[in-house]
Amino acid sequence: MQAVLSRRKSGAGYPRQFWLLFWGVLFNRASVSILWPFLTVYMYQKLDVPLATVTLLMTARAVTSIGSTAVVSPIMDRFGRKRPMVWSLFAATAVFVAMSAADTIWAWLILLGLHGIVMPIFNNGVHAMVADIVPSEQRAPAYALVRMISNAGIAIGPVIGSTLALISFELIFLTTGFFYIVLGVLVAVFIVETMPETLQSAATGHSVGYGTILKDRFFLVFCGIYLLVLMAYSQVFTLLPVYASENFGLMENEYSLFVTVNATMVVLLQYAVTRLTVRYRPQPVIVLGAIFYTVGLFSFVLDSSLLHFSISMAIITLGELIINPTAITLVANRAPIDMRARYLGILNLGYPVAAGIGPVIGGYLNDTVAPVAIWYGAGIMAASGLIGFFLLMRLTGQVERRESSTPVMTGETATGS
């Protein structure tokens, strides 16, 4: 199968299967972004509880995402990526339909938990499939293209969602569910399994668990630092709509502009930025991206106009353009071939976990200190991540210099940089 895929090239030297995944990501992100920019506002208004309570409910999604990734990623590494992806899309449809009728905290707790189980699977599968079919030297631009089309979908979705919200919030859930079931059928029919044949036909060299990953100290530290940055970033999409609407009277069609600014920049600039950053070592590039995150988050405290919020979002998006494809490529290249889904699954787990922790802290600061304290807290998280990435870069550089000065007989030394 791998040989067939490698021969079926189309556009920019990527296999046809890559472009099928590319358009599938567009459909997926457009579908889910119809809903998610408005979810916090909907729950806040529907349940009539403090913002900290609403954000705490999101923690259920983070917890179940951890469990889902821990279970499904080894299954993908051992039995393939496609079937779990299809299953997750059909299951998500049922969750969205149920959300349209939920009106109690306990119902939302259960549904957000189920949401956390099914949502990471498609994304993890796509990233593993790209690593399967794209050579290492082409992966950074390939992941940039995936992010670009993902954000094209994110730019489309909120426009549809803001229109539906004027009619009925419940209609948003039902529309999202309908699109997910359509995508599930399309993936089942057109996407083929990409797991390398050598792994399908023989026992792997690594265990089905996480022992190898737990010994990879660079990877674990990197993910921990990355989580700090994502905790800060997650508050933009979870809390900024509530912050803008409750304190400054912005309407749904106005604060959806923040998401559109972010998505449009990624669509227009992601591939070009990645073609530039791929010329440099990954870790200094990631430090640069963290600087933009930190500056952008702190800048939210300076003004309250729609224009200023949009400019702050643009600064944060520059950090996103720089960090995300670089981080995914670093991990994809580092992962053993038979552990790709697990490595990428843990990395991709960062955002749902961050979304379950960061907004809870931000919501607490909003309720107990002041609304603007959200952005001081988020800025400190991003600055902590920036310092962590810088120190990791310096430490890794020292290790590399020591190893390069030590003669070796055979083999390669993996530095993770």
Distance CA 125, CA 144 (A): 16
CA 291 to chain centre: 19
**Model pLDDT, residue 377:** 94
Distance CA 68, CA 57 (A): 17
**Model pLDDT, residue 296:** 94
Question: Across the strands, what pairs with 15?
Answer: 9
Q: From 1, 105, 109, 120, select the one nearest 47 (Cα to Cα).
A: 105
CB 145 within 8 A of CB 10: no
Phi and psi at 246, nearest 5°, equal -75, -30
Neighbours of 66 (CB within 10 A): 16
CB 106 within 8 A of CB 157: no
- 4: Cβ contacts below 8 Å, ≥ 6 apart: none
> What does the H/E/C string look like for the chain?
CHHHHHHCECCCCCEHHHHHHHHHHHHHHHHHCCCHHHHHHHHHHHHCCCHHHHHHHHHHHHHHHHHHHHHHHHHHHHHCCHHHHHHHHHHHHHHHHHHCCCCCHHHHHHHHHHHHHHHHHHHHHHHHHHHHHCCHHHHHHHHHHHHHHHHHHHHHHHHHHHHHHHHCHHHHHHHHHHHHHHHHHHHHHHCCCCCCHHHHHCCCCCCCCCHHHHCCHHHHHHHHHHHHHHHHHHHHHHHHHHHHHHHHCCCHHHHHHHHHHHHHHHHHHHHHHHHHHCCCCHHHHHHHHHHHHHHHHHHHHHCCCHHHHHHHHHHHHHHHHHHHHHHHHHHHHHCCHHHHHHHHHHHHCHHHHHHHHHHHHHHHHHHHCCCCHHHHHHHHHHHHHHHHHHHHHHHHHHHHHHHHCCCCCCCCCCCCC
Distance CA 249, CA 385 (A): 32
Question: Tokens 């950090």 identify what position?
Answer: 319
Q: From 394, 278, 363, 259, select the one nearest 328 (Cα to Cα).
A: 278
Tens-level pLDDT at each residue, the chain (417 residues):
444 344 344 445 788 889 999 999 999 988 888 887 677 777 777 777 777 777 777 777 878 888 888 888 888 888 888 999 999 999 999 999 998 888 888 888 899 889 989 988 998 899 999 988 988 888 888 998 998 898 888 778 877 887 887 787 788 888 889 999 999 999 999 998 888 765 554 444 555 567 778 888 899 999 999 999 999 998 887 788 778 777 776 766 666 677 778 878 888 898 899 989 988 898 999 999 999 999 999 998 888 778 888 899 999 999 999 999 999 999 988 888 888 888 888 888 888 788 778 888 988 898 888 888 999 999 999 999 999 999 999 887 665 555 455 444 443 333 333
**Model pLDDT, residue 4:** 38
- 107: Cβ contacts below 8 Å, ≥ 6 apart: none
- Please give the domain boundaries of the chain with CATH numbers for all domains: 11-197+210-403 (1.20.1250.20)
CB 297 within 8 A of CB 378: yes
Distance CA 68, CA 326 (A): 25
Neighbours of 405 (CB within 10 A): 7
Q: From 31, 28, 317, select the one nearest 158 (Cα to Cα).
A: 31
**Model pLDDT, residue 342:** 87
CB 179 within 8 A of CB 31: yes
CB 342 within 8 A of CB 81: no
**Model pLDDT, residue 411:** 38
**Model pLDDT, residue 290:** 95
Distance CA 68, CA 121 (A): 8
Backbone CA torsion sign across 85, 90, 95, 96: positive
**Model pLDDT, residue 413:** 35
